[in-house]
Structure 1
Amino acid sequence: MNIEVFKNRKGAQKVEDISNEVLSLLNAGSIETVNLTEWLAIDHSQLVKSVLPTLGIDKNIIEELVFQINHQKKPSTMNIIRLIGALLYEKYANTNLYDPLFEQLSTHLSDSVRCYACYLVALHTYTPLEDKLQKLKPLVADNHFGVREIIWMALRPEMSKYLDFSIDFLSDWAESEDENIRRFSTEALRPRGVWCAHIDALKEKPEQYLPILEKLKSDNAKYVQDSVGNWLNDASKTCPDFVRTLCKRWENESPTKETKYIVKKALRTLTSK
């Protein structure tokens, strides 16, 4: 099979429209997914059976993974990815195979396999948060949307726990030349977020996040603008006056089309009332 033929595909909009050839390559870890439909269609039991033996993973561990994947009470792609990362962490965290395994997972061609690497590190009990962030930075900047979403979800619980440190750390990442890293600095700790627990401290006192928000108020990347606008829209649901006042000041201080777009997105819930 000529894999190159499939690399520039548009991607099906429905799971049933994904060709057998493409699905076979995805489940073998031979190509990346190109959209959410494909990402959700991956059969992770097939993927781990195809990929993990090539990484030197013990056969018994693979069988245990497949069993757990197939016997979930609430199966979902996100739960499966966390399950796989968690079990690999459990089996390899305290061995000399841990770092080589992370390297192989985090650089694998398959975006889904790279997602496993996120939890392999994020769940590590004895690694300081700062070291986790630095180790996972290449995945924060990954070219694939799926990896970028999984990475902030994997790190968010611990970052929320150590909020002061996280805000200080991310204020530096907000100045990165890489828009994916800048976007992570807001998306990872949205007050309400998506598919994750809310952060009460930021819902109640969103002004804590100004060291990051101020640096991005006129960012030139729409990917970042959307995240900043969504962050403030989250905050507007508990602290509407804070968001109104901030947006008004930004409009005066930064009369750019980028800031105008962010402000409109930030105020969308308040203006709809």
Structure 2
Amino acid sequence: MQISEDIINRKGARKGTDIPRDVWTLLNQGEIESVNLTEWLAVNHMTLIQHVLPSVGLDHYIDDISSEITKQKAESGMKAIRLIGQLLDEVLHEENEEKQAEVLQAFAHHVSDSVRCWAAYMNKQHLSTLEEKLAYIQPFAADHHFGVREIAWMSVRESLSHQLDQSIEYLTEWAKSGDENIRRFSVESIRPRGVWTKHIELLKQEPERALPILNLLKSDLSTYVQDSVGNWLNDASKTQPNWVMNLCEQWSKESDTKATSRIIKKAKRTICEGESVNKSLN
């Protein structure tokens, strides 16, 4: 299908109701990527599976998967992605290894970011070791699309939190990557509080466990990574403010760079807000 340059180069609507009909149709057919969060959230995954599954010979699973989507009221957003990815992971176990590999390859490189998000959850979580899960998810963590990268860390966060020390050991190597997306994943995936995910209680109480990763990235040149490190420390400051203040003071002495200063500013924002409130009350 020939997609017009206007559609390919669009900026994306601010509201779901403003998404042009032709764009919305192409998104739900899996023919184009979303370009912003509004479009990403607007994709109807019930419609999408009806277009995508037949293309890989899985149309005989459409009714069962659609039924479960309806049952769980999960036609769009992260809930739909998680559910469909997990359901597809389960049904692929009924297929031979050649078919499994074919589908995973097709979905992992699909033009639709939503389909690649499904694939990020098709990682045989109940069978794979932590090392295997990270090896599987790495291409998704490096994906050019923001939505796929977010789903990538969400899909393995529970496994990472259950094997925290081993996870930090592996992710410390990721923090040395030349790819800013991989470095960012090493931090974002184990944020103490995270976004739309369960908290990692151990890191809320003992944030120093993540120092091997944090110290590597304290002066990272990528603002994408800087934001993640700053947000990580801001999370930690809500339970261990003194530790965060001491670390920021140490970093400011060790690394007099704009990157480190920017991270420290983000790291201390909750602490500074609290100080401002206290001053106003006094």
> Structure 1 length normalisation: TM-score?
0.96
Q: What corresponds to 1:247 in structure 2?
A: 248
CA distances 1:175-218 after superposition (whole Å, capped 9, x unpaired): 10100000000000000001010001101100000000000000
* Superposition deviation, residue 99 in structure 1: 2.1
Opposite residue 217 of structure 1, the aligned amino acid is K
1:110 aligns with 2:120: no
Distance 1:198 1:75, change over 3 A: farther
Q: 1:155 to 1:104 in 2, by over 3 A?
A: same
Partner of 1:54, secondary structure, is helix
1:82-101 to 2 correspondence within 5 Å? 82-93=82-93, 95-96=96-97, 97-101=99-103
Q: How far apart, CA to CA, are the structure 1 residues paired with 2:204 and 2:153?
A: 18
Q: Which amino acid aligns with 2:104?
A: F
Runs of 4+ in 1 over 3 A off after TM superposition: 73-76
1:83 is matched by which residue type in structure 2? L
Show CA shifts across 1:63-121 (max 9, x none): 11122222325665111111111111111135322222111111100000000011110
2:193 matched to 1:192? Answer: yes
In the other structure, the counterpart of 1:132 is: 133
Matches within 5 A, 1:214-253: 214-253=215-254
Q: Distance in 2 between matches of 1:190 and 1:76?
A: 25
In structure 2, do the counterparts of structure 1 residues 102 and 35 end up closer, same or farther at CA, with 3 Å as the change threshold? Answer: same
Paired residues, number: 271
Worse-superposed segment, 186-195 or 125-134: 125-134
Q: Higher mean Cα deviation, 66-75 or 6-15? A: 66-75
- Check if 1:210 corresponds to 2:211: yes
- For 2:120, give the aligned amino acid: C
Retained in 1: the 8 A contact 2:45–2:76? Answer: no
For the pair 1:270 / 2:271, whether they are aligned, the reply is: yes
Stretches of structure 1 that go unaligned for 5 or more consecutive residues are none
State how far apart, in whole Å, the 2-side matches of 1:46 and 1:65 are.
12
Judge conservation of contact 2:43–2:76 (CA < 8 Å) in 1: no
Distance 1:124 1:160 in 2: 14
- Give SS of 1:31's match: coil
C-alpha separation in 1, matches of 2:64 and 2:244: 49
Q: Is the 8 A contact 1:93 1:124 kept in 2?
A: no
SS at match of 2:126: coil
CA distance in 1, matches of 2:83, 2:24: 22
Q: Deviations over 1:12-70 (max 9, x none)?
A: 0011110000001111111000000000000111111011100111x331111122222
Question: What is the root-mean-square deviation in Å for CA atoms of aligned residues?
Answer: 1.3
Matched, 1:69 2:69: yes
Residues 60-69 or 106-115, more deviating: 60-69
Question: What secondary structure is seen at the aligned counterpart in 2 of 1:234?
Answer: helix
Task: Give the unaligned 5+ runs of structure 2.
Answer: 275-282
> Is the CA contact (8 Å cut-off) linking 2:44 and 2:76 kept in structure 1?
no
- The amino acid of 1:265's aligned partner reads K
Shift of 1:129: 1.3
Q: Distance in 2 between matches of 1:245 and 1:4?
A: 54
Is the CA contact 2:192–2:235 (under 8 Å) kept in the aligned structure 1? yes
Aligned residue number for residue 145 of structure 2: 144
1:120 is paired with a residue whose SS is coil
Question: Which AA in structure 2 matches 1:77?
Answer: G
